[in-house]
Amino acid sequence: MEAYLDNAATTPVFPEVCDLMVQVMKDDYGNPSSRHTKGIAAEKYIVNAAENIAALLKCQPSEIVFTSGGTEANNMALIGAAIANKRKGKHIITTRIEHASVHEPLAFLERQGFDVTYLPVDKNGHVDETALVDAIRDDTILISIMYVNNELGCVQNIKNLSNIVKNINSDTLFHVDAIQAYGKYKIVPKKLGIDMMSVSGHKIHGPKGSGFLYVKAKTKLVPVTFGGGQQKGMRSGTENVPAIAGLGLASKLIYEHNSENIIKLYRLKKRLIEKLTKLDKVHVNAIDKIMIEETAPHIISASFEGIRSEVLLNALAKKGIYVSSGSACSSNHPELSGTLKASGVEDRLLDSTLRFSLSIFTTEEQIDYAVDVLCEELPILRKFTIK
């Protein structure tokens, strides 16, 4: 049996999305900037994708900029907004639990002379609102806070945080990394006070190499990629039409039965957590005195005392169970997770933590199989203590 439980890293693509992308590549392969029939046919896919996404977000299609994924969207938002608004100030605020695609661009901006404040979080991964209030200054031009954390599954109260920001400094831009939230929550950026929002296609059963940045109309943002002026100059380069078409369709499909899907995901998450907490020396993270429904429906972080995460991960993989030891995008970095540290996970458990992440294709049988294998493997692996 196989149990793919690493959907926060990537998801299997909807069959309908695969079919559409093949059609685009085989038949409608024109350059969307070309003015002949083939080019116009290709351009229609881009227009349709923007319209589909805009309808879901209740925004204008012109507020959607297609990218190669969430990393590019985050870089575009952070670097583009910082440079565009640097005359107003050079202060930026973020949290200690952001994805590397936020932390690294901000580290780059710090080297360029920008001042970045990193907010603490509690043991459930929630932003300290008092610290946010204290951090906002007259020269704060940009704040970036993720909607759902990719390692812990904690969910921020974006509306409340945005209200705090705008009430103190209405000129401050509010960026949200919604890469793990899009497809799980119905997001209307304008209602939430979001100025910019990043999304990735391969987290919602769309293709890798696809994503978009929502940019609220009149938001001051300079491009970071220059060339032929595609997408109104905001992101030059010939558009990846098959990926954009796939992203547009995946967005539509993921929200078609969203309420039922979320109920299913929470049911599976509860099942997994209940079974994990019954195992000896296993700790589920970021659910201290809060209801499971207050966390994201698809991510579970658990620490296994006395076993290195890499050892346990490999043991599970040999049995056809696929999980993660953290963010897939950070797997090449040997240092322990800054997110786990920031949320107060004990030092002795930092290198013993796995992330299980579910999708609409996950089954109860897969959950049960994974736990059964854990029951078999944990006593054996604990004979080899961490040194």
Specify the CATH number of the domain 3-11+257-381: 3.90.1150.10
Rounded CA-CA distance 123/311 in Å is 26
- Tokens linked to 245: 């078409």
CA atoms within 13 A on the CB side of 182: 33
Rounded CA-CA distance 364/368 in Å is 6
Lowest mean pLDDT across 46-55, 187-196, 270-279, 319-328: 319-328
Query: pLDDT tens for residues 221-242?
Result: 999 999 999 999 999 999 999 9
Read off the amino acid at residue 94: T
**Span 127-148, average pLDDT:** 98
- Tokens linked to 42: 């290709």
Q: Which residues contact 246 (CB under 8 A, 6 or more apart)?
A: 13, 17, 18, 20, 21, 201, 206, 207, 210
**H/E segment holding residue 379:** helix 364-381
Query: pLDDT tens for residues 200-212?
Result: 999 999 999 999 9
Rounded CA-CA distance 304/250 in Å is 35
Top CATH class, 15-256: alpha beta
Q: What is the mean pLDDT of the chain?
A: 95
Look at residues 241, 262, 242, 252 and name the one whose alpha carbon lies nearest to residue 205: 252
Whether residue 369 has pLDDT greater than 50:
yes
> Could you state, in order of their start, the residue ranges of all structural domains in the chain?
3-11+257-381, 15-256
- Identical fold at 3-11+257-381 and 15-256? no
Query: pLDDT tens for residues 59-97?
Result: 999 999 999 999 999 999 999 999 999 999 999 999 999
Read off the amino acid at residue 149: N
Query: pLDDT tens for residues 321-359?
Result: 999 986 455 444 444 468 999 998 998 999 999 999 999
pLDDT in the model for residue 383: 84
Rounded CA-CA distance 363/265 in Å is 9
What 341-346 contacts at long range (C-beta under 8 Å, 24+ apart), as own/partner pairs, is 342/95, 342/96, 342/97, 342/120, 342/121, 342/125, 343/97, 343/121, 343/122, 343/123, 343/124, 343/125, 343/152, 343/154, 343/285, 343/286, 344/122, 344/123, 345/285, 345/303, 346/303
pLDDT in the model for residue 385: 61
pLDDT in the model for residue 326: 63
pLDDT in the model for residue 204: 98
Rounded CA-CA distance 178/187 in Å is 9
* Cβ-based burial of 263 (10 A; exposed 0-12, middle 13-18, buried ≥19): exposed
**Span 11-33, average pLDDT:** 98
* Cβ-based burial of 49 (10 A; exposed 0-12, middle 13-18, buried ≥19): buried
Lowest mean pLDDT across 149-163, 290-304, 321-335: 321-335
- Tokens linked to 140: 């704060």
Decide: 42 and 32 in contact? Cβ < 8 Å: yes
Could you list the active site residues? 329
Q: Between the CA of residue 225 and those of 34, 94, 222, 236, 296, what are the distances in Å?
A: 20, 24, 9, 6, 33
